[in-house]
Amino acid sequence: MRVLFMGTPQFAVPSLKKLHEEFEIIGVVTQPDKPAGRGKRLTPPPVKEVARELGLEVYQPQRLKGFEGVLETLKPDCIVVVAYGKILPSEILRIPPYGVVNLHASLLPKYRGAAPIQRAIMAGEKITGNTVMLVNEEMDAGDILSQEEIPIEEEDNFYTLSEKLSLAGSDLLTRTLKLWFQKKITPVPQRHEEATYAPPVRKEEFRLCWKAPAESVRDRVRGLYPNAYTLFRGNRIKVLRVELVDGSGEPGEVLDPKKFVVACGEGAVLIKELISPKGKKMSGEEFLRGYPLKDGELLK
């Protein structure tokens, strides 16, 4: 089978590698290079780097509208999409005889959209998973080919859960495609009435709200890792890891200046790991040695 792969971030890399071992990959479509880092150097997406290492042809269209002509000349039997980052126009969906197959990091119809991993953790979910589905013209609403549950452990954050889902998803995708190409799978329509959505994370969501319950603060820190932050004496500190502890006080109030315990709307959290205003990753205790706190000091 002639497979065209579409994907962009690190999440898609294990799937590309796995599919390359099992199928004929006739090309890789990924997002254009983008400026990154302090120097804003033009940086290729992870999928492009790996595709080049594998000796695969790479395409980076600025727009998919009008790109269908290139795809038609490639004559793919199937197009596989893993976190490509753009909605595919209907003209592309009609090209491959085995359809456009997508790996989505949630148990659809829950968490349709761009940020299913972050939103699942932020909502305090204990179970998530991967879905392999056929792409149609609605967002993440196509018929399901396969699903697999993955537990969300208490210590999981966005980074660790993404890695788990990425690796497990590459195996599920490969197994599913083999059965799909053998016509051994009957697609199952989603229960659309049960759909929930996972919109992109907005910049303002990264700032912690200490009025929220402690469990919510913890899950936001985990889900937005490593970018959740609070303001300390007017400076931003990124909060990487917290632990639920007993305590009460005004939201944002430092209850224990020796252990960095902070009051929430309900309960309290112990800040265990952070990135200081100077950009250094450290434990809460290390931070306190450099920035002594006072009883009752507030984080904003």
Phi, psi of 16 (to 5 degrees): -60, -45
Question: What percentage of the chain reaches a pLDDT higher than 70?
Answer: 100
* Domain of residue 275, CATH code: 3.10.25.10
pLDDT in tens, 86-120: 999 999 999 999 999 999 999 999 999 999 999 99
Q: What is the mean pLDDT of residues 262-291?
A: 94
Same-domain check for residues 147 and 217: no
Residue finishing a domain among 194, 225, 244: 194
Same-domain check for residues 136 and 155: yes
Q: How confident is the model at residue 256 (pLDDT cuts 50, 70, 90)?
A: confident
Q: Is position 124 within any domain?
A: yes
Q: How many other CB atoms are found less than 10 A from the CB of residue 49?
A: 15
Would you say residue 79 has pLDDT above 90? Answer: yes
Domain tally, the chain: 2
Same-domain check for residues 119 and 253: no
Same-domain check for residues 280 and 186: no
Q: What is the mean pLDDT of residues 209-235?
A: 96
Same-domain check for residues 132 and 228: no
- pLDDT value, residue 37: 76
Q: What is the pTM of this model?
A: 0.94
Would you say residue 241 has pLDDT above 90? Answer: yes
Would you say residue 296 has pLDDT above 90? Answer: no
* Domain of residue 139, CATH code: 3.40.50.170
Do the Cβ atoms of 162 and 168 come closer than 8 Å?
Answer: no
Average pLDDT value over all residues in the chain: 95
Q: How confident is the model at residue 41 (pLDDT cuts 50, 70, 90)?
A: confident
**What's CA 57's distance to the chain center, in Å?**
26
Instruction: Name the residue range of residue 234's domain.
Output: 203-290
Q: What is the mean pLDDT of residues 260-266?
A: 95
Q: Is position 295 within any domain?
A: no
Tokens of 139: 């967002």
Do the Cβ atoms of 173 and 132 come closer than 8 Å?
Answer: yes
